[in-house]
Amino acid sequence: MYETEILADEKVPTIEIVREFDATPEQVFRAHIDPELYRQWVGPRSLTTRILKWEGHTGGCWAFANDRAGKEIAAFFGSFHEVRDNERIVWTFTYEGQPDSVALETLTFEGRDGGGTRLRVLSVMSDFATRDGMLSSGMDVGVKEGYDKLDELLGQRTGPAQQHLQDAAVFTALVVSALPEDWSRPSPVSDWAAIDVVKHLIEWSRGFLAGGAGIEFQTLDIEADPKAAWRQHVADIQAILDDPSDRVLSNPHTGDMPVDKAIAMFYTADIWMHSWDLAKALGLEPDLGQERCAAALDAMRPMEQMLRDSGQYGPAISIGDDASAQDKLMAFIGRDPHWKAQVPGD
């Protein structure tokens, strides 16, 4: 993994950022202009990004918000001055909390000799005070961690390992945000409290892997410390995905398949879906990604009857055609998209 250089000019109010990647300029460019990819890596690891508007072309505009455990803590907006495919992006960048301080950023994607990409970001601000205030705000942490995440997204981890890393991180942020009294809050799943969502993900997946692949796990006391149990569980599953070796999972219903593929197909998708349940149980508004929700719904519709017969999902809930892809997906699997926990004292 490469280091990120952040340079402040003494003569003009600019910040220059230089970072190299072992990926093509086309791949690095796409990760900046595709909103679904961009939201996965931008910013520090402690935050998630929610795209509010994205018109990734010359003359378009954009806006996104940063959330911690489902609560918005910062929002940004700007416009695309120029988008030159795989070569250059010029955009304005404004923090909503300081709307008079507008930065003009130029991103260039340079192919390196021998392969890879050198990304250069030149940010020009109106004065030194604004520039120095940004530098002292801790922006370097967000920039460096963001590019580390981009490195992972581009190839440090790939396939099932990368997907689990991303989805488990979102669920972990929710788990960490919960107070002790939150675990008894009702969830959108009938007869489940918030802690039951965590229990379900831990218990069924460990049993599934132990029975089908002979992978033994330590027993976790979820009731005593849900946060510690979840963190250990995530580490256990990630270790398998990072080094699946030649392990095979055998199951009478699915046949034989590589263990990492089985985890991705049956378990990682479950983390993603159940993050909606846990967020709702905690009184937060989840964001599963509209494009991903639409793709999941398209994949599930052809086997709707089989899914209903399996008992995994309840009866579909009627919802308007103008509803979001996320709301349509939740309604399809039997969740009320507008469900809210009714907790005394809330």
Tens digits of residue pLDDT in 187-209: 999 899 999 999 999 999 999 99
Token digits of residue 171: 């669920």
> Is residue 109 a contact partner of residue 29, using CB atoms and an 8 Å limit?
yes
Confidence (pLDDT) at 23: 84
Confidence (pLDDT) at 187: 96
Over residues 298-304, mean pLDDT: 90
The rounded percent of the chain whose pLDDT value lies above 90 is 64
- Per-residue pLDDT of 40-98, as tens digits, reads 899 999 899 999 999 989 999 999 999 988 899 999 999 999 999 889 999 999 999 88
Confidence (pLDDT) at 254: 76
Structural domains of the chain ordered from first start:
5-156 (3.30.530.20), 159-286 (1.20.120.450)
Q: What is the CA radius of gyration of the chain?
A: 22
Report how far apart, in Å, the C-alpha atoms of 278 and of each of 104, 173, 273, 274, 285 are: 39, 11, 10, 6, 10
Token digits of residue 60: 């378009």
| Low-confidence winner among 64-73, 133-142, 313-322, 336-345 (lowest mean pLDDT) | 336-345
Confidence (pLDDT) at 78: 97
- In this model, does residue 343 exceed pLDDT 70? no
Instruction: Kindly give the pairing relationship between strand 61-68 and strand 48-54.
Output: antiparallel
- In this model, does residue 334 exceed pLDDT 80? yes
How many CA atoms lie less than 13 Å away from 169 in the CB half-sphere? Answer: 16
Q: Which residue has the higher pLDDT, 309 or 94?
A: 94
Confidence (pLDDT) at 238: 86
Confidence (pLDDT) at 331: 95
pTM of the model: 0.59
Instruction: Kindly give the pairing relationship between strand 48-54 and strand 71-84.
Output: unpaired
- Per-residue pLDDT of 221-279, as tens digits, reads 999 999 999 989 988 998 899 888 889 999 887 789 999 999 999 999 999 999 999 99
Instruction: Report the 10 Å Cβ neighbour count for 221.
Output: 9
Confidence (pLDDT) at 304: 86
- In this model, does residue 311 exceed pLDDT 80? no
- In this model, does residue 344 exceed pLDDT 80? no
Report how far apart, in Å, the C-alpha atoms of 25 and of each of 28, 62, 112, 146 are: 5, 22, 9, 18
Q: Containing H/E element for 117? A: strand 117-124
- In this model, does residue 155 exceed pLDDT 80? no
Confidence (pLDDT) at 157: 60
The mean pLDDT of the chain is: 90
- Per-residue pLDDT of 167-188, as tens digits, reads 887 888 889 889 999 999 999 9
